[in-house]
C-alpha cells in the first residue's frame, strides 16, 4: 500500500485549476500536519506507567521488552518486507535490507567505541537506547511519508491511513518505551526521547508535501527500516531475554514475544 500511495499522489492534482490546487494544498498541509501530530502524541503512551510503582514496573519490564522484540520482528517480516517486495523480492531489495542491518551494526559499534573511549570500557546499557532511537526515527519518518501521501490523494484516504498508523503505533510505542526504560533511562527521560523520535513523522510528511514524488526514497527506506528492526530485535533484545534463567519467567517472555508478533499480524486486517 505504502509505495502505491506515494506513486499515485503525484497525479492527484492534474485535473484541478490553479486556485483550486492552492486551496486543496493548504487543506492538505493542515490535515497532514494535524494527523502526524496526533500520531506523534501516541509516543506519550508511556504516561500510563506513572501510575505503577517503579519496583513493580521493573519486574514486568523484560516482558514488555519481549513484546517489543516480537513487535519489531513482526513489523519487519509481516508489514515492511512484504510491502517492499510487492513487485518481487529482488537482489536490490536484499542488498537494502542487508544495508540496514550493517548500518545499525556500525552505529552500535561506534556507540560502544565512544563509550569505551570516554569511560574506560565500562558496560553501558544506554547503547540499546541509542540504537533503538535510531531505528525508531527511520520508522516514524516513513509513517509521516505514508500519511502525507494519503492526504495528497484525498482526505478520507488520509484519515483511514492515519487510523491504521495509530493502531500500528500503539504496540510499537509501548515496546519502544519499554526498551528505553530497560536501557536505564528514567521514566521522564524515556518518555521525552520517545516523543522526540516520534516527531520524525512530521519531517517525513513535510518532505513528501514539499518534494512531490519520492517513491524511490520510500522504496529504499522501507526495506532499510526492516533490516534495522531485524538487527535490533536479534542482536540487542533477544540476547537480553536469554539472560533470564527461571523457567516460568522464560515462558512468560516467550508468550509476550509471540503476542508481539500476533498483534502485528492482527493489524493486517486494519491495513
> Which pLDDT score is estimated for 17?
65
b/e map 44-53, b = 16+ CB within 10 Å? ebbeebeeee
SS (H, E, C) the chain: CHHHHHHHHHHCCCCCCHHHHHHHHHHHHHHHHHHHHHHHHHHHHHHHHHHCCHHHHHHHHHHHHHHHHHHHHHHHHHHHHHHHCCCCCCHHHHHHHHHHHHHHHHHHHHHHHHHHHHHCCCCCCHHHHHHHHHHHHHHHHHHHHHHHHHHHHCHHHHHHHHHHHHHHHHHHHHHHHHHHHHCCCCHHHHHHHHHHHHCHHHHHHHHHHHHCCCHHHHHHHHHHHHHHHHHHHHHHHHHHHCCCCCHHHHHHHHHHHHHHHHHHHHHHHHC
Whether residue 2 is predicted with pLDDT greater than 60 in this model: the reply is no
**Across the chain, what does the average pLDDT equal?**
80
Identify the top-confidence range among 20-24, 125-129, 190-194. 190-194
Q: What is the model's pLDDT at position 5?
A: 56
Q: Is a pLDDT exceeding 60 seen at residue 3?
A: no
pLDDT in tens, 161-178: 787 778 677 777 888 888
pTM of the model: 0.70
Grid cell listed for 69: 522484540
Amino acid at each position: 500500500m505504502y509505495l502505491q500511495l506515494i506513486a499515485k499522489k503525484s497525479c492527484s492534482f492534474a485535473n484541478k485549476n490553479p486556485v483550486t490546487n492552492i486551496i486543496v494544498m493548504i487543506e492538505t498541509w493542515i490535515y497532514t500536519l494535524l494527523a502526524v501530530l496526533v500520531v506523534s502524541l501516541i509516543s506519550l503512551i508511556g504516561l500510563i506507567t506513572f501510575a505503577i510503582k517503579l519496583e513493580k514496573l521493573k519486574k514486568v519490564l523484560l516482558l514488555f521488552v519481549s513484546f517489543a522484540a516480537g513487535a519489531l520482528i513482526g513489523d519487519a517480516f509481516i508489514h515492511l518486507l512484504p510491502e517492499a517486495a510487492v513487485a518481487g523480492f529482488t537482489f536490490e531489495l536484499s542488498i537494502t535490507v542487508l544495508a540496514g542491518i550493517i548500518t545499525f551494526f556500525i552505529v552500535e559499534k561506534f556507540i560502544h567505541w565512544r563509550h569505551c573511549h570516554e569511560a574506560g570500557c565500562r558496560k553501558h546499557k544506554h547503547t540499546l537506547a541509542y540504537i533503538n532511537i535510531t531505528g525508531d526515527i527511520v520508522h516514524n519518518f516513513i509513517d509521516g511519508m505514508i500519511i502525507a501521501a494519503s492526504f495528497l490523494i484525498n482526505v478520507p484516504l488520509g484519515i483511514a491511513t492515519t487510523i491504521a498508523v495509530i493502531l500500528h503505533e500503539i504496540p510499537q510505542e509501548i515496546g519502544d518505551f519499554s526498551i528505553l526504560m530497560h536501557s536505564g533511562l528514567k521514566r521522564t527521560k524515556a518518555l521525552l526521547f520517545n516523543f522526540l523520535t516520534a516527531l520524525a513523522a512530521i519531517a517525513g510528511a513535510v518532505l513528501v508535501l514539499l518534494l512531490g514524488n519520492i517513491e524511490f526514497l520510500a522504496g529504499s527506506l522501507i526495506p532499510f527500516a526492516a533490516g534495522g528492526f531485524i538487527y535490533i530485535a536479534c542482536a540487542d533484545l533477544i540476547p537480553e531475554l536469554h539472560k533470564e534463567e527461571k523457567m516460568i519467567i522464560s515462558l512468560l517472555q516467550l508468550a509476550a514475544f509471540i503476542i508481539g508478533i500476533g498483534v502485528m499480524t492482527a493489524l493486517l486486517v486494519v491495513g
